[in-house]
Amino acid sequence: MTPRLTIDALRALAIGGLVGRGPDVRAVAEQILRFIESDEGRSLDDALGLTPARGEPHWKTTRDRILRNAFLRLAADQYCSGLSPREAATTIHAALNRYVDHEWHRDRDAIECPPHLRGTIREHLWSALRAWPNVLSRRQIEEIVSENSVRVSSPNELPPHAA
């Protein structure tokens, strides 16, 4: 798609957001239209008020960490029930290292979780790595799985902004 077609598509989406939508959608649509029509040279993040304050993480970094942590907790809940957070972290860390060493290179560019991973702990590891493609230490995983936070029983229950 050419830059011009991309801008035209973005404009059409924004105009569609102005009609019959709630006030939040209309406000974002108006910001997008102002951004498209402006010649100020600002980034879209800046135009939408998404640029982080100094010292704050970017919204995408925060989203990616939330996703990674949710999938690691899901792996712990589904495949390490009855284990202490330390034992669960040890199990997940070992599985994560095995997966990265032997399969991740083949699966990492997939848009959706490959069928051969579905229904296994590797499904959650693939999802965690897609969100945050770095292997964490056992201690970091232990901190994540022991946090008192919202638990989900499936990826479909993740908040919409996280997916």
CA 38 to chain centre: 30
pLDDT tens digits, one per residue of 57-116: 999 999 999 999 999 999 999 999 999 999 999 999 999 999 999 999 999 999 999 999
Residue 91, both tokens: 């199990």
Higher pLDDT, 132 or 24: 132
pLDDT band at 147 (very low <50, low <70, confident <90, very high): confident
Q: Are 100 and 135 in contact (CB under 8 A)?
A: yes
pTM of full prediction above 0.75: no
pLDDT tens digits, one per residue of 18-59: 777 788 888 888 888 888 888 788 888 888 888 989 999 999
Residue 73, both tokens: 């907790």
Q: Are 75 and 125 in contact (CB under 8 A)?
A: yes
Q: What is the predicted pLDDT for the residue at 21?
A: 76
CA 30 to chain centre: 26
Q: What is the predicted pLDDT for the residue at 160?
A: 46
DSSP state of 118: T
Q: What is the predicted pLDDT for the residue at 162?
A: 46
